[in-house]
Amino acid sequence: MPFRLRPSKIWKDFSQDWFKVWDVRNYYTSLESRAKAGARLSFGYVMMVVVSAAMATGGLLINSPAVVIGSMCVAPFLGPSRAVCIGGIFRNRKIFWGGIIKQLFGLLIIGAGVAYIITALLQMGMLEVQVTSEILIRSMPTLEDVVLSVLIAVSAGAAASLALIADPRILDTPWGQIVDAVIGVEIAISLIPPAAVLGLGAALGIQQISYNAFSLLMVNFLGLNIFGSMLMLVLFGVRTKYLILEKNLRNTVESTLKALEGIFLEESTIDVTLLSPKTAKIHVITRNTENNSMPDSLAKIIAHEIKDKTGCKSDVKVEMIPIQTYSML
């Protein structure tokens, strides 16, 4: 039989083995949880955008690149960017549009609004407000500036996604939090300065500045969220079907446990680790009443239920923790 080189299979094997998409506990449901958190609008998010926009406006007006960079360090746009990316891949409209609305609200309403108010107040105080070179970079970009800005935005989005793929086990560790902080700064480079320039131009009454800054912001927005983040995850095998499989496996275990008496299902934990599209490891920790005896073959029962309902072969481990309860309420 002649040997045939199949690029699609080579790429699939490479992405699965090298980037460790498999053998990560609760990987796809964790991605969904991160996306849901990133799509939620909170008071803390609003205040962080206000602070970063105020810093960016000050840095732009005094022509200080260091202050503009400082504004990027506190801009909270990593979460909503991941919500757009992951929500789009998982076809979750609520998360996807929640991330887009959260980002645009923070940039166009809060960011540009804060810059407008600060600039207008300075003008009312009879202070001289000048168009600095830092403002011109974002408002009168050359073709070279636009191309490089898009490159930066796409690279920042790709970095945000690679952090979720390259070594996903570090995401919840202190080192993973440091990586996220650094990536958040890279994302803000493409977003918060143009948003501040948009408000500055409106306050100064120079429409061309606002129009150019808005155009640059939208180009960066698309490059960051779609061509950077989303495309990178798609290339490396993140799919909706694996999220559905994780949930189906967990639901199968839950339905099996529900059929048993004496188990506190709400206090039990079910961890699912996909090894491939057809194999998985299941780790169950159940809390049950002390006098209630569980069947010795519970792990076997769960494994057969999983096979029957999902077609997946599984390695099941069950830990049973007895609980005593007493209440005078």
The reported pLDDT for the residue numbered 1 is 45
Task: Indicate the burial class of 296 (C-beta count within 10 angstroms; 0-12, 13-18, 19 or more).
Answer: exposed
The reported pLDDT for the residue numbered 171 is 65
The reported pLDDT for the residue numbered 291 is 59
Instruction: Name the nearest CA neighbour of 38 among 90, 89, 101.
Output: 101
**DSSP secondary structure letters along 289-311:** ETTPPPPTTHHHHHHHHHHHHH-
Give the CA distances from residue 90 to residues 16, 233, 322, 324, in Å, rounded to whole numbers and listed in that order. Answer: 19, 11, 38, 41
Q: Report domain 8-235's class.
A: mainly alpha
The reported pLDDT for the residue numbered 223 is 86
Q: What is the pTM of this model?
A: 0.82
Residue 35 contacts residue 100 (beta carbons within 8 Å): no
Give the CA distances from residue 19 to residues 13, 44, 155, 165, in Å, rounded to whole numbers and listed in that order. Answer: 10, 33, 18, 6
Residues recorded for the chain = 329
Instruction: Kindly list the domain boundaries of the chain, sorted by start residue.
Output: 8-235, 240-323
144-153 long-range Cβ contacts below 8 angstroms, 24+ apart: 146/216, 146/219, 149/190, 149/216, 149/219, 149/220, 150/219, 150/220, 150/223, 152/186, 152/189, 152/190, 152/220, 153/190, 153/219, 153/220, 153/221, 153/223, 153/224, 153/228
What angle, 0 to 180 degrees and rounded to 10, lies between the N-to-C axes of helices 192-204 and 112-124?
40
The reported pLDDT for the residue numbered 236 is 79
Backbone angles phi, psi at 31, to 5 degrees: -60, -45
CATH 3.30.70.1350 for domain 240-323: yes
Give the span between the Cα atoms of 200 and 60, in whole angstroms: 9
Residue 278 is given by DSSP the state T
Give the span between the Cα atoms of 141 and 167, in whole angstroms: 37
pLDDT tens-digit profile, the chain (329 residues): 454 555 555 555 554 455 457 888 899 999 899 899 999 999 999 999 999 999 999 999 999 888 988 888 888 988 899 899 999 999 999 999 999 999 999 999 999 999 999 999 988 877 778 888 888 888 877 777 778 888 888 888 888 887 777 766 666 666 666 667 777 777 888 889 999 999 999 999 889 999 999 988 998 888 888 888 888 888 878 889 999 999 999 999 988 888 776 666 677 788 999 998 899 999 988 877 655 556 668 888 889 999 999 999 999 998 887 777 777 87
Instruction: Tokens for 59, please give them.
Output: 């840095």
